[in-house]
Amino acid sequence: MLGLGRARANRQHRYVANNLSAYIDGQLTAAERARVERHLAACADCRRDVETLRQTVALLRRVPLKPVPRSFALPASARAAQARHRRWNAAFGAMRTATVTIATLLVMVFAGDAALTSGLVSLPGARTASDASALLYQERGQTQSEEAAPMMAEAAPKASPEAAPQAESEAAPEPAVEPYGATEATAAPDAPSPGETARALQPPRETWPGPQAQPGAPAGGEGGGPDMGGVGGAGGMGGTVPVMPRTNGVGGAEEGSTTAEAEPPAALAAEATETAEGEAQVESLAQAPDEAETPAEEPQPEAMMAPKTVPTPAPQPTQLPPTEPATAPEAEESATPGAMVMRVEPGDGDGTPAPEAERVQVPARPPEPAWWQASRSLRLIGGFLAGMLLIALAGTIWTGYKRGVPK
């Protein structure tokens, strides 16, 4: 009993000690004040405390005011400083808004990509558990080679699914079309370097075409030499991913080299080299159509390739790899021109392309489903946004610093 009473007294004591300050200032409610006063009546220690506390506050209030040592009035020049601060603050506000907006978009892109790759959102195309990682792995290799190529015609992306089936068959005939390609080819700047770079970048793969193509490349005379190299590299890649070779081939062709053979991965390239002896261009023509015509719904390798090639080669982020199937018809049309471009160049061997193209398809890797294409474009956008975010963040920090310390 005694212990309980003491505990309660201690509690009261603590409560009062914590509230004496407010009690002195009259800041307690009536109930609180009554509780304090009840305790004060019974506790000498607290009575003494409240007394000394009152005296302390009284002393503090007697501290004399210090006269100002000088006037703190601002000079007239302060006006400019205010205007400057206002401008920087406005810039800071804009940069901050931009940062937040971009960050939000980036998050949305991430979420969208995650939804696509995880299967939450379904787009045409079969999906397996390891699809994403496998595709990503392939793509890594491709992107490198693709980067080497300057750029693909936009038509390539358009070549969406539906076209694919036809594309294959057409591929053979295309060689005939070569004339267009030739014209276009001339227009295209020749870039031997791209082919070379592609080669260098290409990871070594066991694909059969790879080795052949490379040796062939050197053999190929004229512009074909460099191009071929590019093709060969592509072929190497192509072993796994048919798309790669095409892109390379296209790029090379556009650049003015013969590479067109790219379509059929390494094998084609090799053949092209052999047949054309550096003028494999013809093959490239054949390939081009294939790419452009990629199958709409069918998960043919070519179809996959086409979209891929398009995004990567094209420097512009705007290009939408995930073109809808609807575009297919147009894609075909456009594809032809694009294909021609790729084929063009020296264009020697016409016959070779068709067979090669077929072969290519056979070894082709699994088709890229639509969701994967969409995912890739999302990742491209995400990369672009990430760059913009860095810039906006730096701008925010800089303007924040320039506007001065906030209040």
Partner 1 sequence: MRALTRRAPSAPLNEEALISAAQRGDVDAFNRLVLEYQQLAYNVAYRILGNDDQAADATQDAFMRAYSALYQFRGGSFKAWLLRIVTNCCYDLLRVKQRRPTTPIDDLVEDDEHSRLIEDPDELPDESLERQELAELIQEGIETLPDDQRTVVVLSDIEGLSYDEIAAVTSVSLGTVKSRLSRARAKLRDYLLERRELLPGRFRLMDSG
CA distance 61 to 230: 87
Tokens of 137: 């792995």
Indicate the residue among 61 and 316 with the shorter CB distance to partner 1. Answer: 61
Hey, how many other C-beta atoms are within 10 angstroms of the C-beta on 75?
A: 7
How many separate helices (H) and strands (E) can be counted in the chain?
Answer: 18, 0
| Minimum CB distance to partner 1, residue 69 (Å) | 5
Indicate the residue among 2 and 76 with the shorter CB distance to partner 1. Answer: 76
Indicate the residue among 44 and 129 with the shorter CB distance to partner 1. Answer: 44
User: How many binding residues for partner 1 (CB under 8 A)?
Assistant: 48
Tokens of 47: 């009575």
| Lookup result for tokens 């490379």 | 214
| Minimum CB distance to partner 1, residue 369 (Å) | 53
* Dihedral sign computed on CA atoms, order 145, 162, 374, 118: negative
Cβ neighbours of residue 135 closer than 8 Å, sequence gap 6 or more: 368, 372
Indicate the residue among 72 and 316 with the shorter CB distance to partner 1. Answer: 72
SS3 at position 320: coil
Q: What x-and-dash track marks residues 198-237 binding partner 1 by CB under 8 A?
A: ----------------------------------------
Q: Identify the residue among 34, 83, 187, 362 touching partner 1 (CB under 8 A).
A: 83
Indicate the residue among 31 and 60 with the shorter CB distance to partner 1. Answer: 60
| Minimum CB distance to partner 1, residue 334 (Å) | 55
| Minimum CB distance to partner 1, residue 146 (Å) | 51
Tokens of 76: 């007239």
CA distance 258 to 356: 15
CA distance 110 to 285: 38
Indicate the residue among 46 and 340 with the shorter CB distance to partner 1. Answer: 46
Indicate the residue among 57 and 326 with the shorter CB distance to partner 1. Answer: 57
| Minimum CB distance to partner 1, residue 96 (Å) | 14
Q: What x-and-dash track marks residues 21-50 binding partner 1 by CB under 8 A?
A: xx--x-x----------------xx-xx--
Give the closest residue to 310 by CA, choosing from 294, 333, 299: 294
Indicate the residue among 53 and 136 with the shorter CB distance to partner 1. Answer: 53
DSSP per-residue letters across 273-288: HHHHSS-THHHHHHHH
Indicate the residue among 47 and 140 with the shorter CB distance to partner 1. Answer: 47
| Lookup result for tokens 């978009």 | 105
| Minimum CB distance to partner 1, residue 46 (Å) | 9
CA distance 240 to 132: 15
Q: Identify the residue among 9, 34, 42, 81 touching partner 1 (CB under 8 A).
A: 81
| Minimum CB distance to partner 1, residue 389 (Å) | 27
Q: What x-and-dash track marks residues 348-387 binding partner 1 by CB under 8 A?
A: ----------------------------------------
Cβ neighbours of residue 322 closer than 8 Å, sequence gap 6 or more: 307, 370, 373, 374, 376, 377
Cβ neighbours of residue 236 closer than 8 Å, sequence gap 6 or more: 202, 203, 204, 205, 207, 209, 210, 211, 213, 214, 265, 266
CA distance 31 to 29: 5
Indicate the residue among 77 and 316 with the shorter CB distance to partner 1. Answer: 77
Indicate the residue among 5 and 62 with the shorter CB distance to partner 1. Answer: 62
Q: What are phi and psi of 3, to 5 degrees?
A: -60, -45
| Minimum CB distance to partner 1, residue 85 (Å) | 4
Q: Identify the residue among 6, 10, 14, 82 touching partner 1 (CB under 8 A).
A: 82
| Minimum CB distance to partner 1, residue 15 (Å) | 12
| Minimum CB distance to partner 1, residue 61 (Å) | 6
CA distance 325 to 323: 7
Size of the chain in residues: 407
Contacts of partner 1 in 49-78 (CB under 8 A): 51-53, 55-57, 59-76, 78
| Minimum CB distance to partner 1, residue 11 (Å) | 17
**Where along the sequence are the contacts to partner 1 (CB under 8 A)?**
17-22, 25, 27, 44-45, 47-48, 51-53, 55-57, 59-76, 78-79, 81-83, 85-86, 89, 404-407
